[in-house]
Structure 1
Amino acid sequence: MPEVTARPAAPNGPAPRTNAPLTLAAAAITVVLWASAFIGIRGAGPHFDPGALALLRMAVGALALGLIVLRHGFRLPERRHWLLIVAWGIGWFCVYNVALNSAERSLDAGTAAMVVNLAPLMVVVFSGLFLGEGFPRPLLIGAPIAFLGVVLIGMSSSTGEGLDITGLSLALLAAVMYAGCTLLQKRLLTSGVDATTLTWLGAVAGTVALLPWTGRLIGDLQTAPLDAVLWVVYLGVFPTAVAFTTWAYVLQRTSAGQTSATTYVVPAIAIVMSWLILGEVPTLVMFLGGALCLLGVVVTRMRWGAARRSQSNRPR
C-alpha cells in the first residue's frame, strides 16, 4: 500500500474487484489462520483463565501489529473516528475473546460453533438494511447453506450433556460482538480510516481493556507448560495480527455480508486440521457439514446478477 495519509476513497473511482487474486489470497489466509486458532485454543485453554488467555494473546497481537504498522506507515485517523475505533477494539478484541473463551468452557465445541456462527447471517441481514449492500441472491442462498453445514458439524461434535444457559448466553454475546464489530469496522473503513492503523489501534484498545486480568495471567504463566504458552504466542501473531490484517484488507474491498459469509469455510478447515494435527477423526456427518460450508461459500461468491446483465446486453 502507498505511504499516504488516510482519506476517503474517491466516490467515482473504480470499485475494487471482489474476486481479484490478492483479495482471494487474503481471504484464504484469514480463514486458514482462524481455523488454526481452534487448535491453539485447544492446546492453551486448559492452562489459562479465559481473560488471561485473551490478555496474553492480545498483548502479543498488539506488539506484532505494531511492527506491521511501523513497516506500513501510521496514518492518524480523524478525531471524529477515535471513539468508534476504541469501541470497536474493545468489542472485538476484549468482549468477543473473553465471551468465546468462557463459553467454550461450559459448552461443547459444536454448540458454541453453531451459536457463534449466527454472526455471519446477522451481518448479511444488517449490512443489507443499514450499509446499503442490499440482499444479493447468491448471498441469501449461500449463507444459509453454509450455516446448515455448521449445524451438521455442531450436531456431530455435540456431547449431548444438555445446554448450559450461561455458556449459551456467552456464545450469543460473542456472536453479537462478531456481527456488530464487523459492521462497525466496515463503516470505519468506508469512512477513510486506514485498515492497518485501525487494526492496531483496536488491538491496543482491546489489550488495555483486558488489563484487569493481569494478576490472573501472572499466576497462570507460573504454572502453564511451555507448549501452552507458545500456543498463545502463536494465537497472538498469526490468528490475531496476521489474520485480522488480511481480514481488514478483504473487508475494505468486498461487502461486509460477503466477507463474513466467507468465514463459514473456517469450520471445514478446522475439521481437517484437527484430523491431521490432533488425530481427531471426523465423522461422515462432519464431512457432509464441511462440504456444505464450502458449497455455501462458493455460492456466495457467484455473480449471478452480473451474468444476467451481461446476457441481457448481448446484441439480438
Structure 2
Amino acid sequence: MPRPPLNDWFVTTHRFARIAPALFVLLWSSGFVGAKFGMPWAPPLHFLVARFAAVLAIMLPAAPFLRVTWPRNQLLIHTALAGLLVQTGYFTCVFMAMHTGLSAGMVALIAGLQPVIVSIFAGLVLRERRNRLQWIGLALGVAGVFMVIQNKLGHGNVTGLGVALAFVALVSISLGTVYQKRFCNGVDVVATSIIQCAVSLLILLPLAALFESGSIHWNGQFIFSLLWVVVVVSIGAIGILLWLLRHGEAGQVSGLFFLVPPTTAVIAWLCFGDELSAFMLAGIALTMLGVYLASPRN
C-alpha cells in the first residue's frame, strides 16, 4: 500500500486537527499587521506579484520532498478556478481597497459578513443546513465584529471605489470557499497552494506591469513584511484553510473569519499600542459566543 503524501500525513494527526482552527485565525489575522509594514513601499499589485512569486520559489522545490499528488484534467481546472476566487480576487481587491484609502476597520467590517454569505451559498450549493441557534450565532458574530472595529471606521477615506472593492473581495472569497469545498475537496493541500499561486502570478504580473507606474522599494521593512505574508499567511494560514475546508463544512470554516478582526485588534494592541477598550473586549467575547453558537456541532 503506497504511503500517503507527507503533508497529508502531518495535517491529519489528531493533535493538529485540534489546534488547526485557532492556529488559522492567529496566522491569518497577523497578515493584516504584516501587510501594514510593507504597503507603503510597494504598489498593491507589485506587492502581490512579489508575494506569489516568493511562495512558488519556496514551495515548488519542496514539492518532491512532500510527495505532492497533482490534480489532473477537470480537477486541475477546478483548483485553478477556486484560486482565482480565494486568492487572486480576494487579495487583489483587499489590497486595492486599502490602497484607495479605505481603513482596515471598514474592510474588516465588510469582510466580517463572509460567514453569513458563505452559509447562504453553502445551503444552496452544498445543502448545508443551519438551525435557528446557528443563525443567531452568525448575527452575534457580525455584531461582535462591529463592536471591535467601530472606533476605526472613521479613519481613512471612504470612497465608492474602495467600498466596492471590499464587497467584491467579500463575494470572491465567499464564492471561492464554497467552490473549493464543492469541487476541490480531495486535492492535495500543497498542490492546491502551488497551482493557485501560479495562476494568481500569471494574471497579476502583466496587470502590474501595465497599470501600475510605481515600483517596489526594497528595504528591511518591506522584506520583513513580504516574508511574513509569504511564510505565515500564504503558506501557513492558507494551507490550514484549505485543509479545514477539506475536512469540515464550508459554513463552519467560514465562521472562523468572525474571529479575525478581534484577533487583529489584539495583535495591533500588542505591536502598535492601538486602543483595546472594554467595549472592544466585550465585542471579542460576543464574537466568540457567536462562533460557538454558529458551529454545526451545536
Fold shared, TM-score > 0.5 on shorter chain: yes
2:8 is aligned to: none
Letter in 2 for 1:39: V
Unaligned runs of 5+ in 2: 6-11
Q: State the distance in 1 between where 2:296 and 2:117 align.
A: 20
2:198 is aligned to: 204
Per-residue deviation at 1:107?
A: 1.2
Shift of the 195–137 alpha-carbon distance from structure 1 to 2, 3 Å rule, reads farther
2:78 is aligned to: 84
Contact 1:148/1:293 (8 A) holds in 2: yes
In percent, how many aligned pairs have the same letter? 25
2:110 counterpart (102, 107, 115): 115
Q: State the distance in 2 between where 1:162 and 1:302 align.
A: 38
Per-residue deviation at 1:216?
A: 8.4
Identify the range of structure 1 (138-147 vs 172-181) with the bigger mean alpha-carbon deviation: 138-147
Per-residue deviation at 1:198?
A: 1.6
1:173 is aligned to: 168
1:103 is aligned to: 97
Listed as ranges, the matches of 1:28-107 within 5 Å are 28-67=22-61, 69-105=63-99, 106-107=101-102
Shift of the 68–182 alpha-carbon distance from structure 1 to 2, 3 Å rule, reads farther
Contact 1:49/1:216 (8 A) holds in 2: no
Listed as ranges, the matches of 1:11-30 within 5 Å are 21-30=15-24
- May I ask how many residue pairs the two structures share in their alignment? 288
Shift of the 128–210 alpha-carbon distance from structure 1 to 2, 3 Å rule, reads same
Q: State the distance in 2 between where 1:263 and 1:67 align.
A: 31
Shift of the 266–53 alpha-carbon distance from structure 1 to 2, 3 Å rule, reads same
Q: State the distance in 1 between where 2:202 and 2:167 align.
A: 24
Q: State the distance in 1 between where 2:166 and 2:233 align.
A: 19
Shift of the 229–275 alpha-carbon distance from structure 1 to 2, 3 Å rule, reads same
TM-score normalised by L of structure 1: 0.83
Residue 155 (1) aligns with residue 154 (2): no
Listed as ranges, the matches of 1:181-260 within 5 Å are 181-190=176-185, 192-212=186-206, 213=208, 220-221=215-216, 223-260=217-254
Letter in 1 for 2:144: G
Q: State the distance in 2 between where 1:131 and 1:277 align.
A: 40
Contact 1:145/1:293 (8 A) holds in 2: yes
Contact 2:114/2:257 (8 A) holds in 1: no
Per-residue deviation at 1:4?
A: 4.3
Per-residue deviation at 1:54?
A: 1.2
Contact 2:259/2:288 (8 A) holds in 1: yes
Contact 1:124/1:139 (8 A) holds in 2: no
Contact 1:196/1:248 (8 A) holds in 2: no
2:294 is aligned to: 300
Q: State the distance in 2 between where 1:244 and 1:52 align.
A: 20
Unaligned runs of 5+ in 1: 6-16, 305-316
Q: State the distance in 1 between where 2:166 and 2:204 align.
A: 19
Moved over 4 A (4+): 214-219
Q: State the distance in 2 between where 1:232 and 1:170 align.
A: 22
Letter in 2 for 1:116: A
Shift of the 123–237 alpha-carbon distance from structure 1 to 2, 3 Å rule, reads same
Q: Secondary structure at the match of 2:63?
A: helix
1:164 counterpart (156, 159, 162): 159
Contact 2:140/2:289 (8 A) holds in 1: yes
